[in-house]
Structure 1
Amino acid sequence: MTFPRPPAFRLLGILAVLIVALSATLLPTAYAQSSKAPLKIAMILWRGETNVEQGFRAYFDENNIPVDLTIHDVARDLSRVPAIIDQIRKDPPDLVYTWGTGITSSVVGKYDAVDPAKNITDLPVVYVMVSSPWKTGIAAPAGQSRPNVTGATHIAPLAAQINAIRAYRPMDKLGVVYNSREDNSVSNVADLTELGREMGFDVLAAPLGTDDEPSADDIAPAVAELARKGADILYIGPDNFIGNYRDTLTDAGFANGLAAFSATELEVRDGHAMLGLVSRYELVGRLAASKVEQILIGGISPADIPVETLDRFSYLIRLSSARKLKLYPPLSLLDYAEVIE
């Protein structure tokens, strides 16, 4: 003889089944991925691994996504890129990661001038540290996309940068020493000049490398000339050459009573620029990693993943530089700025 199951026990059984089913559906993608083969990613880097790559690695570690990263370091020499592309084609990864405008442009070409013989067209590419992807032709114009390319950019809007400078001190003349052979730098200076007409400041430009390769020896005289012309502050934009010689620039600024503002993190955090409105490199790497996850795990085409920057930026102040120049920050800035000794 069988007895009907009490309603309470029947309800518990149903709940148990539901909990098991929900647990299976709510398992994070990262957990499901952990038992699969590692994602193969070829990384083409400008100067070895940076905090960007640390953030990139950390994203996968924290989400339990196994990755197999192959590092190709061009050691600041773009002439090495074609050989690296040949090497990648012989043993194709799942995805290619590129660092900076020069490398990315060499790897994927301009959106309207892709050469399949030279550029990677049959693998997804995610880039980082490209300051002006649209102006440099790496990203397609609005309404268009590139079938295999997307990325994470890192520069705060220029108007926000200017407001950040003016929050610290008045600025009517912005002095810019830059490498005229870097597309991203040329684009940045052009955009600043246009913005100056709207926001009421003049850009005093000091291009290097107009006749020959730029030299570090040209930086100090250029800064002295900007000081003579009445620059209120030096601007360090997304420029690989100036980034390599940032201390030369800021030392020349100290010698001429000029502070430096930076649009990128390292010039303040590891250098002597007095202030900056920046993306944290680690967070840029994490943003790029999330795009890789969307492509390789989510199955989303790079064409459907927008090029993005972070939605928050950090205001950095290097107090040692402020002391040296006797240009102390307004107390109001200390409510939200990160002060670095």
Structure 2
Amino acid sequence: MITWRGQTQAEFGFIQRLKELGVDADYEVFDAARDQNRLAGFLRENRDRLKTKDLIYTFGTTATKTVKNLNPDQIPHVFNIVANPVGVGIAASHVSPVHGVTGAKMALSPEVNIQLLEQLYPFNRIAILFDPREDNAVSEVDKLTAVCEALGKEVLLLRLSPDAKTSQLQIEALEQQVKSADVIYVTATSSFIANSGLLKQILPPDVVSIGSSTASLSEGVTVAFGTEYWERGEAAAELAAKILLDGMSPNDLPINEISAEEATLYVNTSHKAASKLNLDKTRNPVVMK
């Protein structure tokens, strides 16, 4: 089990569900601590030991891509909490992943998120906040930009690298831009979640914001469509059980996705902008947080 920023509810859900499915597993956990070089070093130094494993589980896009690229022995691999596995090259397609890896996709597609948001809150000008160092976020930005421009929306791209020495200057530079937007879209970016309190510094309380990940709600985002990390862990466990108990190949197991109809709308009631949403327009279950 390879985590990117420590164990989350996704891992706890995975472990519990796998046990319920009849897999009495022994786990070895390695935390990359958001350091790709540290993870790559671990994989190289422990290649022989990894060959003895029946399965590798990874959390997040960067950890999953690193393991995929440094797993020449094709140990069965199940990922979790990846927003766009096809777009970043982890899988060939959602139906036939290939590369010896499958898993549970975390987020709805950007176009679906935009469609669902417009039901609640029509808008014209959207700011997209992302960390340009994260492949997952950059891939999401490309899709979002194309979707929004096709709909005639004005798009502002807001780059922020919170671990950089200039992060505070970056935040100050973004202040006027975020205030001028009708909506702020926060991409699935692990560096934003790892730096607790960061988004609350950036997101104006009276501007509606939507998170690609439900994890961003606790950081100050107004709304998110999706499901809980625990449920994604359970979904990944269902795939792992088919590999471990039934001998199936990851290549033959479609990636588990959340459909628009299955998604829950999570609303951050502590955020002032939540009062602007027309919740009567949504067909999704609503959870007030």
Tell whether the structures are fold-level matches, with TM greater than 0.5: yes
Question: Which residue of the partner structure matches residue 53 of structure 2?
Answer: 93
Residue 288 (structure 1) aligned with residue 206 (structure 2) = no
Write the distance in 2 (CA, Å) between the matches of 1:166 and 1:235: 12
Residue 307 (structure 1) aligned with residue 267 (structure 2) = no
Distance 1:222 1:130, change over 3 A: farther
Residue pairs, 1:76-87, within 5 angstroms: 76-85=34-43, 86-87=45-46
The percent identity for this pair of structures is 25
After superposition, the C-alpha distances for 1:175-228 in whole angstroms (9 at most, x for unaligned) are 12211111111110000011013323222101235xx94754245224313236
More relative contact order in 1 or in 2 (CA 8 Å, sep 6+)? Answer: 2
Q: Is the 8 A contact 1:177 1:223 kept in 2?
A: no
Write the distance in 2 (CA, Å) between the matches of 1:246 and 1:166: 28
Write the distance in 1 (CA, Å) between the matches of 2:19 and 2:166: 41
Question: Which residue of the partner structure matches residue 151 of structure 1?
Answer: 103
Q: Is the 8 A contact 2:94 2:255 kept in 1?
A: no
Q: Is the 8 A contact 2:23 2:245 kept in 1?
A: no
Residue pairs, 1:176-195, within 5 angstroms: 176-195=128-147
Write the distance in 1 (CA, Å) between the matches of 2:165 and 2:263: 31
TM-score (norm 2): 0.88
* Stretches of structure 1 lacking an aligned partner (at least 5 in a row): 1-42, 110-117
Distance 1:166 1:332, change over 3 A: same
Question: Which residue of the partner structure matches residue 262 of structure 1?
Answer: 211
Question: Which residue of the partner structure matches residue 268 of structure 2?
Answer: 318
Write the distance in 1 (CA, Å) between the matches of 2:190 and 2:31: 15
Q: Note the C-alpha offset of 1:264.
A: 0.7
Give the paired residue count: 283
Write the distance in 2 (CA, Å) between the matches of 1:75 and 1:54: 18
Residue 203 (structure 1) aligned with residue 155 (structure 2) = yes
SS at match of 2:265: strand
Q: Is the 8 A contact 1:284 1:310 kept in 2?
A: no
User: Highest CA radius of gyration, 1 or 2?
Assistant: 1
After superposition, the C-alpha distances for 1:6-63 in whole angstroms (9 at most, x for unaligned) are xxxxxxxxxxxxxxxxxxxxxxxxxxxxxxxxxxxxx010111111112101212323
Distance 1:266 1:333, change over 3 A: farther
* Stretches of structure 2 lacking an aligned partner (at least 5 in a row): none
After superposition, the C-alpha distances for 1:243-263 in whole angstroms (9 at most, x for unaligned) are 2236322332227x4232111
Corresponding residue to 1:175 among 127, 138, 143: 127
Question: Which residue of the partner structure matches residue 279 of structure 1?
Answer: 227
Write the distance in 2 (CA, Å) between the matches of 1:79 and 1:249: 26
Q: Note the C-alpha offset of 1:147.
A: 4.5
Distance 1:124 1:98, change over 3 A: same
Corresponding residue to 1:104 among 64, 77, 87: 64
Write the distance in 1 (CA, Å) between the matches of 2:286 and 2:194: 26
After superposition, the C-alpha distances for 1:111-149 in whole angstroms (9 at most, x for unaligned) are xxxxxxx43433111111121111111112578642521
Distance 1:185 1:326, change over 3 A: closer
Question: Which residue of the partner structure matches residue 8 of structure 2?
Answer: 50
Worse overlay, 291-300 or 156-165: 156-165
SS at match of 2:128: strand
Q: Note the C-alpha offset of 1:164.
A: 2.7
Q: 4+ runs of 1 displaced by more than 4 Å?
A: 141-145, 212-215
Write the distance in 1 (CA, Å) between the matches of 2:170 and 2:213: 19
Q: Note the C-alpha offset of 1:328.
A: 4.0
Corresponding residue to 2:199 among 237, 249, 253: 249
Write the distance in 2 (CA, Å) between the matches of 1:276 and 1:331: 13
